[in-house]
Structure 1
């Protein structure tokens, strides 16, 4: 694409560009931050005529699969609702008229989405449903096979849609084995493609349908990679360093070379192109602080990454070849949306239709379609049309040094229209704590707090994702130690930068963030003026006694590795065992049906505060799990949180202290 051709494209995009103003006089209703995006995870059909999405009912509990015609996005041609708390964990078009859906579950709004292991197929009109894999006694092959007692995963498909897809499975009885199948989504017939005696591995399949690599974590929690040898077996790719990561992601078209994500020391990362035997490595992009991603930055067939971005900080794109036609297309669209990130979600099979999304710190996102030949742009849908980006707050990614010299990332959300100094601040630790992270993208809770006048600080402490394996493992067994130090050091840094008022700091977090909301004030007495624990974990030994983690062998093994099992350490780092040290206003919020941090955690913390004669407030809800999903309950939480903060660090607290 030449610059001359870019001009009509830019003109076409003017029709889709947003118009933003600078007015933000009225207080934004709490309900606007409590509502759920009705459509997410869009995927274009192979012929570019339809789009599939995950549908979310306004009640927050009911999800499903929706299919729209590109010519009319006002009403789906098919809508299949799933049982409460179930949702499409993955969707794939196997032809222009048939889709495969992986069923998933989510334990509340802050819970991780998990797959049930069941795979379904359905026609574009909702007819001819079939149960392709799972433990239910239904589907076309029920009379000819034993029940699938295991987990099935969608693992890719041929580059030219032919009604087939690749399915990876792990048996319940033999979780130390991964098997890859070619599955006909119409007949449900399977053909085994590969098999390896390690569970939960991922396979890289070349365009000819031959599995070339498999990679993942073995039973010793070590990263392993295997390459297909000449005899059809698997040869191990040796790793010469403990935290080294190497993930083959695609074959370079017309060659034996591959694209791979690489982290030689487990610090930062790179995207490389190399021979499949490991030689002739060409580094496409390397970052010493952050891992490197190419997600949303691939061309149409034959697939190749045209750009990369770091997984931390601003989503700034670096083009592999700025003269590449797809790179020029990306640049031209980006020029029309300054301040936005741009993802190429999916192309039609012939490359003539491209579905893309734009998003920012102040906009949850919008999805559009562009014809790559005529540059005609068709807006498809807005994730949260009730959100006015011009009224939202700026989020800023900054770095600071922890007490031991480690460089950490902080995300600050600045209240709109207020001076950036001596602000009341809320520290908001993320959940996990491992392999989760806060990003620059729109965050409804941070935006709500900022709309009420608070500076919000989010710290990607040790254990967070996006920095490499070494950064994650350095946080193991440090829930109450190093991780809390990183959070506390972030608060001290924000105060030292004059962003925050040292006399008006509160901490609020969910899940592990709820744990930190109690533990950080214990570790740093006097720093925080209030604390709010939301669906928090307060008794570490209870993690091995109650909750859904105990029902999953792999999750329990990961917990033992990351949290530790020493009884004395678990007790010494449990907030409910140190409630007498919590000398500040406290609020506890919990769903009574929480399976990840069971309601017994709330009861333990409440009992400990009672025994220590500490005052506190509570908000609990029946039929809510790990984080509230009902908009009315989320709205009530936000309103109570705002009132609690106002009394302790907000204008209400200031006026009270100034009264004679």
Structure 2
């Protein structure tokens, strides 16, 4: 066992980051160290699913906040886990399901893994019932129904279903089951693909009752029972915004609004036990999650936490059965995530883990949001992140993908933090069409490629440029954002000095005929709803047909297996730009689809983007105490390449010529670093195995 240092805090952050340090590309583009944490029913232990970045293995660990220790229990790829009681954890991995029985009687906790020899899944750990759960036993064939049991760990491990309590023999066509612990109610969702219809069911006595059916475009999320006759649901059926609404089960009608925010869709809600009203609602305000509570005690605690964790989002992610001990999570644009243990006596909180501890060494850059009036009484929100240390006076306009039903949020963002750490300011805009601001706002973005969306972005750009001075401005984006990056530069060529388009779309007509499937009416209807009708008007907003208007150097990044923005989109755009003698560079990745499936690709991609912008704008490498070392490391990343096609590999010739004098030294340094990394990984694997063997 290794003791880890728990930082006792007075619920305030101290900044121990190293000012002026640049973030290595392989430090920021990597998995989190902590994926999730859950508090035991008695509040004494925390079970964590974490990642060891050295061994590249996923671990399950037990934290003891009082003793300030952490013990590795098992390693595997975890899908889900849940405390069954104070010494039993149910775990689903990518290969099997089972229980970890924890023994706390020794100096260090010991975990015994037991595999369940039958198919199924837990829908409730029944936290107030020792050693018992609600378990859905899935069928051996598609003709069999699901069986829902109230069952003990011992009965499940021995497949003794005969002694377990059969709660139900299942529902035809059920997609999933879940359980309302507050009201001891089994609930289910079934679906009809042909009708694009979802059906919601509940069972509290001996009969399944249908309480709602809806098409999948309507927001309808059951939250729980308000009383025996009414449900609380999140819905936007009769309102512009997703609100918390009463639902009459007998009449199948939505009733009074319980809570509705005037500007934002609700993201979630929680109820107290039946008859005790609403516990809380959550929405995104200025791109940051905000939770409102309804009881005096909860409001008081929330105010205290928000006061002490200034400018951070604080959420209670777990609490003991007696509700006295709590597990907290904090986050923000400059905080990847911290976990705190708040004991029953409600004294000082203890920091028990960081989601991304390597980032504690660096100054991360906070984001701020602002509103832009794009039409009379119509506003959009934008997020601006500015470097605190080195500032190269370049503004990157970074539209999000989608574009409809997607949004940017002001939380920790790897892309934004890497770019701002390298000296760039980043502007993100939740233009009309973005999610979270109501149906009308989202619908307003449909069919507005190259029109209203870019209008909104341009107004946000004007507003930020009135407040800050920049020497250069470039556009950058992925997917729809890649399309928008090019269209912005076509519409306002005098403003943009470079363009970076990742996995973008350049010919909207081609969306409708890129493959046999995409010529079907079903697919065309789906695309038309977002892009607009399939006709010649789409050419007027397709960058491919206006390539002659591209004045700035442009970088096209694409995956050759992309089936969303088909590779032909980028390939044809490349040939058209070259035909026009434009300054175009391409990075086309083999075996990559609509973005990378591992961090190596992201590291290469963003190292190249930074290099491209600096070369085209004649900027020096970013200033920092470790700048020389990182510049060398990133050269090596570019020299090695990553899964590039033959055409894109031509960039290596440029770098070979540029760094010919020190190429051999760079390769030797790279080989030496690989050797050191291998030794570290072997040692870390040895230490982890020793912990697991104890």
**In the superposition, relative to structure 1, how do residues 612 and 210 fare at CA in structure 2: closer, same or farther (>3 Å)?**
same
Residue of 296, 317, 336 corresponding to 1:364: 336
Task: Report the equivalent of 1:145.
Answer: none
Structure 2 gap segments, 5+ residues each:
1-6, 102-110, 622-694
- Per-residue deviation, 1:154: 7.3
Residue 77 of structure 1 aligns to a residue in which SS?
strand
Q: Which moved more, 1:228-237 or 1:579-588?
A: 228-237
What residue is the counterpart of 2:114 in the other structure?
A: 128
> Could you say which residue in structure 1 is the equivalent of 2:74?
78
SS in 2 for 1:344: strand
Given candidates 491, 494, 499, the residue that maps to 2:468 is 499
Shift of 1:451: 2.4
The answer to whether the 8 A contact 2:271-2:280 is kept is yes
Change (3 A) 1:457 1:220: farther
| 1:311 and 2:296 correspond | no
Find the counterpart in structure 2 of residue 20 from structure 1. 15
Deviation, 1:127, is 2.9
Are residue 210 (structure 1) and residue 185 (structure 2) matched?
A: yes
**Residue 137 of structure 2 is aligned to residue 164 of structure 1:** no
Change in CA separation of 1:238 and 1:120 when aligned onto 2, cut-off 3 Å:
closer
Match of 1:353 among 307, 325, 339: 325
- Secondary structure at 2:418 match in 1: helix
Q: Report the Cα distance in structure 2 between the residues aligned to 1:320 and 1:389, rounded to whole angstroms.
A: 35
TM-score by length of 1: 0.73
Q: Which residue of 1 aligns with 2:369?
A: 397
One of 590, 595, 598 as aligned partner of 1:627:
595
Q: Which runs of 5+ in 1 are unaligned?
A: 1-11, 82-86, 104-117, 131-138, 142-151, 654-660
What SS is found at the alignment partner of 1:520?
helix
Q: How far did residue 506 of structure 1 move?
A: 1.1
Give the superposition deviation at 1:354: 2.0
Secondary structure of the structure 1 residue equivalent to 2:303: helix
Q: 1:356 to 1:320 in 2, by over 3 A?
A: closer
Alignment of 1:162-311 (within 5 A): 163-165=132-134, 186=156, 192=168, 195=171, 205=180, 207-211=182-186, 232=207, 234-235=209-210, 245-252=219-226, 257-263=230-236, 265-272=238-245, 285-294=259-268, 306-311=279-284
- How far 1:213 moved relative to its partner? 7.7
Note closer, same or farther for the CA distance 1:66–1:19 as it changes in structure 2 (3 Å cut). Answer: same
Matched residues in 2 for 1:255 and 1:646: separation? 64
Aligned counterparts of 2:369 and 2:54: Cα–Cα separation in 1 = 33
Q: CA deviation at 1:586?
A: 0.7
Equivalent pair of 1:301/1:349 in contact (CA under 8 Å) = no
Q: What is aligned with 1:101?
A: 92
* Residue 359 (structure 1) shift: 1.0
In structure 1, distance between residues paired with 2:37 and 2:590 = 32
Measure how far apart 1:361 and its partner are: 1.7
Moved more, 344-353 or 155-164: 155-164
Partners of 2:271 and 2:185 in 1: CA distance: 21
Corresponding residue number in structure 2 for 1:66: 60
TM-fit CA distance, 1:412: 0.9
Matches within 5 A, 1:446-461: 446-461=416-431
Choose from 483, 486, 493 the match for 1:518: 486
Q: Quick one: distance in 1 between partners of 2:57 and 2:229? A: 42
Q: Which residue of 2 aligns with 1:112?
A: none
- Matching residue of 2:496: 528
Kindly tell me: are residues 287 and 592 of structure 1, through their superposed partners in 2, closer, same or farther at Cα, counting changes over 3 Å?
same
SS at match of 2:76: strand
Distance 1:397 1:167, change over 3 A: farther
What is the DSSP-based 3-state SS (H/G/I as helix, E as strand, rest coil) of the residue aligned with 1:391?
coil
Q: Which has the higher helix share?
A: 2
Question: What residue is the counterpart of 2:638 in the other structure?
Answer: none
Q: What is the number of equivalent residue pairs in this alignment?
A: 590
Q: Distance in 1 between matches of 2:295 and 2:271?
A: 14
Q: Distance in 1 between matches of 2:301 and 2:427?
A: 36
**Alignment match of 2:359 (pick from 387, 397, 403):** 387
In structure 2, what is the Cα distance between the partners aligned to 1:610 and 1:470?
A: 41
Does 1:644 find its partner at 2:596?
A: no
Q: From the superposition, tell whether residues 168 and 627 of structure 1 become closer, same or farther in structure 2 (CA, over 3 Å).
A: farther
Q: 1:407 is matched with which residue?
A: 379
Secondary structure of the equivalent of 1:619?
A: strand
Kindly tell me: are residues 260 and 40 of structure 1, through their superposed partners in 2, closer, same or farther at Cα, counting changes over 3 Å?
A: same
Q: Which moved more, 1:51-60 or 1:596-605?
A: 51-60
RMSD: 4.8
Taking structure 1 as reference, are residues 166 and 469 closer, same or farther at Cα in structure 2, changes over 3 Å only? farther
CA shift in 2, pair 1:433/1:180, >3 Å: farther
User: 1:530, CA displacement in angstroms?
Assistant: 1.4
TM-score, length of structure 2 as denominator length: 0.70
Q: CA 1:207–1:352 in 2, change beyond 3 Å: closer, same or farther?
A: same
Q: Equivalent of 1:430, from 395, 400, 406? A: 400
Work out the CA distance in 1 between the residues paired with 2:326 and 2:522.
Answer: 39
In 1, the alpha carbon distance for the partners of 2:354 and 2:27 equals 14
1:200-228 deviation digits (Å, cap 9, x = unpaired): 68867464543468599976667876777
Structure 2 residue matching 1:416: 3-state secondary structure: coil
Instruction: Tell me how far apart the structure 2 counterparts of residues 611 and 249 of structure 1 sit (CA, whole Å).
Output: 57
Q: Are 2:394 and 2:472, in contact at CA under 8 Å, matched by a contact in 1?
A: yes
Q: In the TM superposition, what whole-angstrom CA distance separates every residue of 1:403-462 from its partner, at most 9, and x where no partner exists?
A: 57632111111222689xx95311111223333211111212212222233221111123
Task: Tell me if the contact between 1:50 and 1:67 (Cα under 8 Å) persists in the aligned partners.
Answer: no
After superposition, give the CA deviation of every residue in 1:248-290 in whole Å (9 maximum; x if it has no partner): 21224x7655433243555334335676568996755422211
**Alignment partner of 1:435: what SS?**
coil
Q: Matched residues in 2 for 1:170 and 1:560: separation?
A: 40
Cα separation, partners in 2 of 1:388 and 1:379, compared to 1, 3 Å: closer
Question: Using a 3 Å threshold, how does the CA distance of structure 1 residues 563 and 51 change in structure 2: closer, same or farther?
Answer: farther
Is residue 269–residue 286 contact of structure 1 (8 Å, CA) maintained in 2? yes
Aligned to 1:402, the other structure's residue is in SS state strand
Q: How does 1:83-94 map to 2 (within 5 A)?
A: 88=79, 90-94=80-84
Q: 1:357 offset after TM fit, Å?
A: 0.4
Output the CA distance in 1 between the equivalents of 2:115 and 2:521: 32
